[in-house]
């Protein structure tokens, strides 16, 4: 009985199934999404998402770790890195940036040599991100990352592996750039928000970034010196025109986060609210040396000096001027001065053939020219005479002991990396200059040296190493 009923039912079902036509059901294609995308629309996403997340997450929260600022909201300077800080940064770098760059790179490589420019841009940006990842967490997925098919749980590579791998990536980028054909090249000028498709500048950035990475490796392993020497003869970033940065128009929706955190929560600008203020170490290096950056950076009409570390100004102390904290402040990735100062440092260490004093002075001149004249949207400027006068007043490093001369160079490196949160932190950790002030109420023995791994990666990836104390130095230090 039961069986015949079932047959009866089933035949009814099959009878009616004749109505179910696959055409009717074929509506599962999202009309508001695309199945492929032009690099001219993916690259803007990658670059701007990277910049804004970095500025809001690292810039406005960790600038007090290397003590450029006196205090930041939700800062990890006392040793505790929250899951938001670590989680959001990690996700942005791996998922938003590297995940999209991998697709851009793969598409470009498939398209052949005419898209070498696109592939090279993707690889240089990828190298920049891995450099930052290892700077924040030390051991990070690199060789097995962004390949979920083959490696669903990527292993973590040592910092040495990652940094050397980054250098190799930049070599690959340069090879691709060198092999760009003369004609028929893909036009990436729209999507390339950094250099508008100018591949000679990308080549300079690639070489310069490699120099930055080798300088980090060199801190631990001087066997890269030969690579460095070879690199110094290649095109490097040499003036404000070469600088790698993302410009913000300053219009609503295109403002630098250092400004939007002020305008969203406190008031119209930093001078009137005193949200961002210099740390004493940074302030002293500028003000005590009569550095003209004082008039560019510092707002202190009452001449009260900076707040101490851990303290906000909110108008009671010196704080940053509207010339720095403004919606149109660019996000600076790499300046010419950084190269000059590496050359000066290397000369003092006997690597390469650069002249220490020349590079030291050129570095200062380059950074003052950038902040005082060439930076987009400047409110306060410096005259050529002011810059010349300050450069002329710089000490002759050859008259100092080698150690003192190195300290002078490192101090300039520290000043140069202002508002570049990871480079600044790396500079302090690499050179030990300047000496950080003790942080009140800190839970760690020294200043913050690393982030802990984010909970999401720990939960999903069994290969995540155990977290180390956040004051444990990294391999490169």
Partner 1 sequence: MKKILLLSIFLLSALFTESWAQERTISGTVTSAEDGSTMPGVNVVLKGTTNGTITDIDGNYKLSVPSEGGILSFSFVGLTTQEIEIGARSVIDLAMTADVQQLSEVVVTALGIEKEARSIGYGIDVIDGDQLLEARESNIVNAMQGKVTGVTISNTSGNLGSSSKVIIRGVTSLRGNNAPLWIVDGIPINDAQTPTGSRISGVRDFANGASVINPDDVETINVLKGAAATALYGSRAAAGAIVVTTKKGERGKNGKAQVSINSTVRFDDLLTIPDYQQQYAMGDAFKYDSSSVGFDWGPRIVGQTVNLPVTGESGPLTAIEDNGVNDFFERGVSLINNVSVSDATDKSNYRLSITSLNQDGVIPGQELDRLTLGLNTGMQHSDKLRSSFGIQYIKTKSVGTAAAGANDPNIIGLGSFSSTLDQNNFKPWIDASGNQINQTTPTSNNPYWIRNENRNDRNWDRYLGNFEVQYTPIEKLNILGRLGYDYEIDNRFFSNRKGTAQRLEGNFTVDGIRRSQINFDGIANYSTDLSEDFGLSILAGYNYNKRLFTRETLFGNELAVPQLFDPGNVNQTVSSRNFSERILMGAYGQAELSYKNWATLSLTARNDWSSTLPLENNSYFYPSASAAVVFTDALGISNNILSFGKIRASYAQVGNDADPYQLDFRFFPVSTASGQYGLNVNFPFNGQLAFAKANTIPNNNLLPEQQKSYEFGLDLQFLDGRIGLDVAYFKSQNINQIADLPIPQSTGFNFRTTNVGQVDTKGFELTLDAKVLEMGDFSWNSIVNFSQVESTVVELAEGVERLLIASAFNSVQVVAVPGEEFQLFGIPYLRDSVTNEILIDPNTGRRLAGEAKTFGSVLPDFTMGFVNNFSYKGLNVSFTIDWRSGGIMKSSTVEGLQNGGLAEETTLNREGTFIDKGGVILNADGSIRENDVPLRNSRDFWTALNDGSIAEPWIFDASFVKLREVAVSYTLPSKFFDNSFINSFQIGIEGRNLALLYSKVPHIDPESNLFGSGADGFGIERSNIPSTRGIGFNVRVKF
* Angstrom distance (rounded) from CA 13 to CA 186: 56
Nearer to partner 1, 51 or 67 (CB): 51
> Is the Cα torsion angle 375, 376, 378, 384 positive or negative in sign?
positive
Query: 427 Cβ partners below 8 Å, 6+ apart?
Result: 66, 410, 413, 414, 417, 433
Nearer to partner 1, 320 or 390 (CB): 320
Q: Which of residues 31-70 bind partner 1 (CB under 8 A)?
A: 31-38, 40-42, 44-45, 48-49, 51-53, 55-57, 60-61
| Residue 322 binds partner 1, judged by CB under 8 A | no
Tell me how many residues contact partner 1 (CB under 8 A).
102
* 151 burial level (CB within 10 Å; 0-12, 13-18, 19+): middle
Q: Which of residues 11-30 bind partner 1 (CB under 8 A)?
A: 12-17, 19-20, 22, 24-30
| Residue 477 binds partner 1, judged by CB under 8 A | no
CB of 402 to partner 1, least distance (A): 40
Answer for which of 64, 69, 94, 236 binds partner 1 (CB under 8 A) is 94
Nearest CA to 447 out of 459, 434, 438 is that of 438
In angstroms and rounded to an integer, the radius of gyration of the C-alpha atoms of the chain is 26
| Residue 3 binds partner 1, judged by CB under 8 A | no
CB of 95 to partner 1, least distance (A): 5
| Residue 128 binds partner 1, judged by CB under 8 A | no
Q: Which of residues 403-422 bind partner 1 (CB under 8 A)?
A: none
End-to-end CA distance of the chain: 82
Q: What angle do CA 285, 339, 218 make, to 5 degrees?
A: 95
Nearer to partner 1, 13 or 399 (CB): 13
* Angstrom distance (rounded) from CA 416 to CA 363: 9
Answer for which of 91, 220, 349, 472 binds partner 1 (CB under 8 A) is 91
Length of the chain: 477
| Residue 440 binds partner 1, judged by CB under 8 A | no
Question: Tokens for 366?
Answer: 């380059």
* Angstrom distance (rounded) from CA 394 to CA 264: 41
Nearer to partner 1, 88 or 114 (CB): 88
CB 302 within 8 A of CB 271: no
Q: What Å distances lie between residue 344 and 37, 354, 355, 364, CA to CA?
A: 44, 7, 7, 11
Nearest CA to 36 out of 131, 100, 121, 117 is that of 100
Which SS3 state, helix, strand or coil, does residue 141 take? strand
Nearer to partner 1, 139 or 291 (CB): 139
Q: Which of residues 343-382 bind partner 1 (CB under 8 A)?
A: none
CB of 286 to partner 1, least distance (A): 27
| Residue 194 binds partner 1, judged by CB under 8 A | no
Answer for which of 65, 69, 98, 214 binds partner 1 (CB under 8 A) is 98
The region of 142-150, 172-180, 227-235, 386-394 touching partner 1 under the rule CB under 8 A is 142-150
CB of 90 to partner 1, least distance (A): 6
Question: Tokens for 129?
Answer: 């991100």
> Is the Cα torsion angle 426, 424, 173, 86 positive or negative in sign?
positive
Answer for which of 106, 143, 148, 181 binds partner 1 (CB under 8 A) is 148
| Residue 6 binds partner 1, judged by CB under 8 A | yes
The region of 83-91, 171-179, 422-430, 432-440 touching partner 1 under the rule CB under 8 A is 83-91
Answer for which of 65, 67, 76, 90 binds partner 1 (CB under 8 A) is 90
Nearer to partner 1, 157 or 291 (CB): 157
* Angstrom distance (rounded) from CA 405 to CA 266: 42
* Angstrom distance (rounded) from CA 368 to CA 297: 12
| Residue 143 binds partner 1, judged by CB under 8 A | no
Nearer to partner 1, 9 or 230 (CB): 9
| Residue 158 binds partner 1, judged by CB under 8 A | no
* Angstrom distance (rounded) from CA 273 to CA 275: 6
| Residue 290 binds partner 1, judged by CB under 8 A | no
| Residue 328 binds partner 1, judged by CB under 8 A | no
Question: Do the bridges between strand 319-320 and strand 156-157 make them parallel or antiparallel, or are there none, so unpaired?
Answer: unpaired
| Residue 466 binds partner 1, judged by CB under 8 A | no
CB 171 within 8 A of CB 164: no
Q: Which of residues 238-277 bind partner 1 (CB under 8 A)?
A: 247-249, 251-255, 257, 260-261, 263-268
Nearer to partner 1, 376 or 432 (CB): 376
CB of 73 to partner 1, least distance (A): 8
| Residue 190 binds partner 1, judged by CB under 8 A | yes
| Residue 429 binds partner 1, judged by CB under 8 A | no
The region of 227-235, 411-419, 424-432, 456-464 touching partner 1 under the rule CB under 8 A is 456-464
Q: What Å distances lie between residue 253 and 249, 257, 264, 267, 330, CA to CA?
A: 9, 10, 12, 17, 14
CB of 465 to partner 1, least distance (A): 12
Q: What angle do CA 354, 360, 366 make, to 5 degrees?
A: 110
| Residue 71 binds partner 1, judged by CB under 8 A | no
Q: What is the dihedral of CA 100, 104, 106, 108, to 10 degrees?
A: 180
């Amino acid at each position: 009985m039961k069986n015949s009923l079932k047959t009866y039912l089933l035949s009814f079902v099959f009878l009616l199934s004749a109505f179910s036509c696959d055409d009717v059901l074929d509506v599962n294609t999202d009309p508001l999404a695309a199945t492929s995308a032009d690099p001219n629309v993916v690259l803007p996403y990658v670059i701007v998402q990277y910049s804004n997340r970095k500025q809001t997450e690292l810039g406005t929260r960790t600038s007090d770790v290397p003590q450029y600022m006196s205090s930041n909201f939700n800062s990890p300077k006392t040793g505790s890195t929250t899951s938001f800080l670590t989680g959001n940064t990690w996700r942005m770098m791996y998922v938003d940036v590297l995940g999209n760059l991998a697709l851009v790179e793969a598409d470009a490589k498939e398209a052949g040599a005419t898209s070498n420019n696109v592939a090279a841009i993707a690889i240089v940006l990828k190298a920049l991100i891995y450099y930052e990842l290892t700077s924040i967490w030390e051991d990070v997925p690199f060789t097995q990352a962004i390949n979920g098919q083959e490696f669903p749980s990527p292993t973590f590579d040592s910092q040495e592996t990652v940094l050397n791998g980054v250098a190799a990536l930049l070599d690959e980028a340069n090879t691709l750039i060198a092999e760009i054909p003369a004609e028929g090249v893909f036009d990436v000028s729209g999507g390339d928000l950094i250099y508008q498709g100018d591949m000679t500048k990308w080549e300079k950035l690639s070489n310069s970034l490699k120099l930055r990475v080798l300088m980090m490796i060199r801190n631990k392993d001087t066997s890269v010196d030969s690579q460095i020497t070879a690199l110094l003869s290649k095109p490097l970033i040499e003036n404000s025109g070469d600088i790698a940065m993302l410009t913000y128009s300053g219009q609503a929706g295109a403002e630098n986060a250092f400004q939007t955190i002020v305008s969203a929560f406190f008031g119209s600008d930093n001078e009137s609210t005193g949200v961002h203020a210099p740390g004493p170490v940074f302030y002293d290096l500028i003000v005590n040396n009569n550095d003209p950056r004082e008039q560019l950076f510092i707002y202190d009409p009452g001449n009260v000096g900076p707040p101490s570390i851990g303290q906000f100004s909110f108008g009671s102390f010196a704080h940053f001027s509207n010339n720095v904290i403004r919606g149109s402040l660019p996000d600076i990735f790499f300046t010419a001065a950084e190269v000059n100062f590496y050359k000066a440092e290397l000369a003092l260490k006997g690597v390469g053939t650069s002249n220490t004093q020349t590079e030291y002075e050129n570095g200062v001149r380059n950074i003052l020219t950038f902040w005082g004249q060439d930076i987009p949207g400047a409110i306060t400027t410096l005259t050529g005479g002011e810059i010349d006068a300050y450069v002329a007043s710089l000490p002759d490093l050859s008259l100092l002991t080698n150690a003192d001369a190195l300290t002078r160079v490192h101090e300039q490196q520290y000043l140069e990396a202002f508002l570049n949160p990871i480079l600044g932190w790396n500079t302090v950790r690499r050179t030990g200059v300047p000496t950080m002030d003790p942080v009140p109420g800190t839970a760690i023995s020294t200043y913050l040296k690393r982030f802990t791994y984010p909970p999401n990666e720990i939960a999903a990836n069994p290969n995540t190493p155990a977290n180390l104390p956040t004051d444990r130095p990294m391999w490169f230090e």
